[in-house]
Amino acid sequence: MDDDILTIEEVARYLRVSERTVYDWAQKGEIPSGKIGTVWRFKKSEIERWVNERLSSNRPTSAFSVVQIQNILSPDRILFLNYAKKRDALVAMAENLAGAPQIKSRQELVSEILRREELMSTAIGRGIAIPHVRLSSVTDLVVSVGISQCDIIDFQSLDDVPVRLLFMIAAAYNQHAYYLQTLSFFSSRLKNGELHAALSASKTPQEVYSLLISQDEQ
């Protein structure tokens, strides 16, 4: 993956889809690619740009948009929070997430989550924030969910709605595509008003987990 020119196999690993899916996309002209003789080749820079464009437009290919919640979240990483300040909420969630086996440095996770938030607010509107980092000390993507029992008033959301739902994502540094894919998954699913209301009204971690698992079927 360090080379600029990628094979079908390398693109499939990068996007976490099957080689057949990548081949079909190339055949249909849906992904930037070229042929050297009979062999498909891909420029890494073009694939990254393609990923960003598709996710930012909220029109990802169906096979590419699949995120399996049970692979990245468990009920013990779902918290009910009661902090009015975002720093306190973020630290509590990062401390919880640091207990996952995929996280090798608690200190780095906490400090980088806070540093990322200082650069730009991760509140996306509608009372939702998605704090996220990619770190070399993370071995695989993992998520923590926070349901706030009070308004978190200092997230500086564009719509000025206080944050109540938080989805913290930590990914390995080389998981660029899957990282963006997961961000897109949560931001698009949470536009569903019924899901948003149901999550906010949940009383137990298992209830939150069940609601999110049900999204895999949609």
Number of structural domains, the chain? 2
Q: How far is CA 9 from CA 16, 119, 178, 181, in A?
A: 10, 36, 16, 19
> Is residue 171 included in any domain, yes or no?
yes
Q: What is the pLDDT of residue 45?
A: 84
Question: Would 50 be classed as within a structural domain?
Answer: yes
My answer on whether 85 and 109 are in the same domain is yes
pLDDT at 13: 78
Contact 84, 151 (CB under 8 A): yes
The encoded tokens of residue 33 equal 């690619």
pLDDT digits (tens, 9 = 90+) for 63-91: 455 678 988 999 999 999 999 999 999 99
Higher pLDDT, residue 44 or 151: 151
Average pLDDT over residues 184-207: 91
Residue 31 maps to which CATH number?
1.10.10
One-letter amino acid at 72 equals I
Residue partners of 109: CB distance under 8 A and separation at least 6: 94, 97, 98, 103, 133, 135, 137, 138, 170
**CA–CA separation, 175 and 162 (whole Å):** 30
Residue 64 falls within a domain, yes or no? no
Q: Which tokens go with 188?
A: 């698009």
138 neighbors 122 (Cβ within 8 angstroms)? no
Q: Rounded to whole angstroms, how far apart are CA atoms 62 and 119? A: 32
pLDDT recorded at residue 59 = 53
In this predicted model, what pLDDT tens digit does every residue of 178-194 receive, in sequence order?
888 888 888 888 888 89
At 108-148, the pLDDT tens digits run 999 999 999 998 889 988 999 999 999 999 999 999 999 99
Judge if 95 and 196 occupy the same domain. Answer: yes
Give the pLDDT score at 109: 97
pLDDT tens-digit profile of 127-137? 999 999 999 99
Query: How many other CB atoms sit within 10 Å of the CB of residue 136?
Result: 11
d(CA 191, CA 138): 29
Is 28 domain-assigned? yes
pLDDT at residue 15 tops 80: no
With beta carbons less than 8 A apart as the criterion, state whether 166 and 148 touch.
Answer: yes
Residue 74: other Cβ atoms inside 10 A:
15
Domain that holds residue 184: 69-217
Q: Is there a single domain that holds both residue 86 and residue 29? A: no
